[in-house]
Chain A
């Protein structure tokens, strides 16, 4: 029996609906159709009246999520593609993220964003929004990389009383499989050492974790032990785990699928430079996508984002410095 990343998300939502009557799901095509990616398949049937179809109105979808939260509900919003969350941007950052700070009423909403690139998806179906939302106070931003985390972190997201931006990676939906759903999990906010090492700390999140693990495997054959850190949650970021890793290795390479300016990798480097300066044996590095919108053609797309090959090249360069 194996379960995919997407199925884990579905299972988590089913469990949330079953265990808490305050939970409901709202989004486009989530009802009978089961969602564009089938993340809510059969849930409308299993939980009548709790999985609702929305019009193509992301602003209203998010605004109403906040209103429902004020009245004590715990909505899970599915935005069909992370790229369309920009239409809801105002409601997310100005309504949801400020509600508690302004009024002391918590806003326990979960906004599920299918993000990240897949070949041929193009500029408006490929973006990653973790850095954008992490920038604004009042939001929790999660980026699960594994099937297990997709399950446990979504459950935790629903239980959290603050707005959680749940960044799912579309490429992992069907490609990533696990044996079983987890019984226990690291809490949100803690990073995971995905692979222990000694020579270089490779910090990654979401789909990049798998590229990073492939790099570690390859470089192991060259005599280097790469430590891979899976951030799991981008905000709050587990600085202690990252710095402890750099204490062991002395070298940092942060990798992100999103763009260079002010991305998650910039935040990692800034924190390590601040708290781990005297641990560094070489300047901290980062690797991001190219500073253009995500291209459509597979040739361009493959070159646009970091891959195991480009990450390995960067790692080798850093190991030699």
Chain B
């Protein structure tokens, strides 16, 4: 009989440990190869650990509600040699018994009586070390075969020389995305890079404006976060009706801006910034809105947008749009804002996934309004409405889909009562 260890598997990238929540098969229980024997919970999900081969659970070294690192020996299965071989495992610890030796030397004879499983099992070096090592405190990942941290042989590795050269040229790692790497693990070597740059020189080049470069930098920095988008259709009829009555007739984007501001004033954490393990709440609800200017996009800001009713700021809004187009925005109307509204509907787009500015957690996008059929339950028929898609792109580190969805729903709700904006 061999003692085959049950080892905590690698349960996901960057998972270092897991907590045992349930021992599914007790000591002495029979198991088949691949059968789930333990239930463990990681920070992401609850998973199971399977028996490596057929046999009997000899001993569990773990307890429920305790955490164990990846690679740790959790227990032992006693398995017969043929089951071990069938599972393709090497024997780990063979208890020295004359019975086994007899078996090996005289295969013709009847098998010798099996040595009963003893409670003091010979432990492997790993198990002995695991038993001796303290289980509390920081857990070192002990994934077999994988060196930690990653060596210079992965696609994302940039050598010091490459970094220095990139800095020299004023470029960023993002610019490397299109370069095929010939180094270990597909990494881009300095030769690959120089060749790429030399080739670029041979193609048609135009000068990127400073604004273009600045936006590129902002988008690159923003993209360094995990961004996601949720969308919801809003009926704009109420807004359009309300608008008809006004002299100035501000665009629907202003309504969206006010709705966003009010929704944020009700729950400012949504626009908070995650720094380490703290969420920094905005101190005032300053909302920006995107205006396309020559060779780029400007974002004028309406400060304390939650405290100023729509009718009050309609004038200001129109003026800022004009100033943005002329690039004559005053200083106090530019700079920091906690969220942005972008009306991509003006380009005729019905749907888009905008990217929030690097210092912001979310951006609200408004698509073009179109006539669309809406099912009216009361009348039992489709009725024509003017519908526009609202998309909310957000930093998934701060918000989950649920919270984003609820927030968007609130905005749509506010848009249905434009007179309150």
Contacts and interface: CB of A to CB of B under 8 A. Distances in A.
Interface stretch (B78-86, B159-167, B331-339): B159-167
Nearest to B152: A283
A280 B159 contact: yes
B159 A281 contact: yes
B163 to A, nearest CB: 7
A281 B184 contact: no
B160 A278 contact: yes
A132 interface: no
Contacts of A282: 152, 159, 183
A283 B161 CA distance: 11
Interface residues of A, number: 10
A194 interface: no
A69 to B, nearest CB: 46
Find the residue from A279, A281, A283, A321 having the highest chain B CB count within 10 A: A281
Interface in B171-190: 183-184, 189-190
Interface in A297-321: 320-321
B161 A321 contact: no
Contacts of A278: 160-161, 163-164
Contacts of A100: none
Interface in B21-44: none
Find the residue from B161, B162, B183 having the highest chain A CB count within 10 A: B161
Given A282-B152, A283-B152, A321 B162 contact: no
A314 to B, nearest CB: 14
A278 B159 CA distance: 8
B126 interface: no
A281 B163 contact: no
Interface string A221-265: 000000000000000000000000000001000000000000000
Interface string A267-292: 00000000001111111000000000
B161 A279 contact: yes
Contact of B153 (A250, A279, A321): A321
Interface string B138-176: 000000000000001100000111111000000000000
A250 B164 CA distance: 12
B160 A280 contact: yes
A281 B162 contact: yes
A277 B161 CA distance: 7
B184 A320 contact: yes
Contacts of B184: 320-321
Contacts of B189: 281
Nearest to A273: B160
Interface string A64-75: 000000000000
Contacts of B161: 250, 278-281
B159 to A, nearest CB: 4
B152 A321 contact: yes
A281 B164 contact: no
Contacts of B152: 282-283, 321
Contacts of B160: 277-281
A53 B171 CA distance: 69
A78 to B, nearest CB: 46
10 contacts: A250-B159, A250-B161, A277-B160, A278-B160, A280-B159, A280-B160, A281-B189, A282-B152, A282-B159, A283-B152
Given A283-B152, A321-B184, 13 more contacts: A250-B161, A250-B190, A279-B160, A279-B164, A280-B159, A280-B160, A280-B161, A281-B159, A281-B161, A281-B162, A281-B190, A320-B184, A321-B153
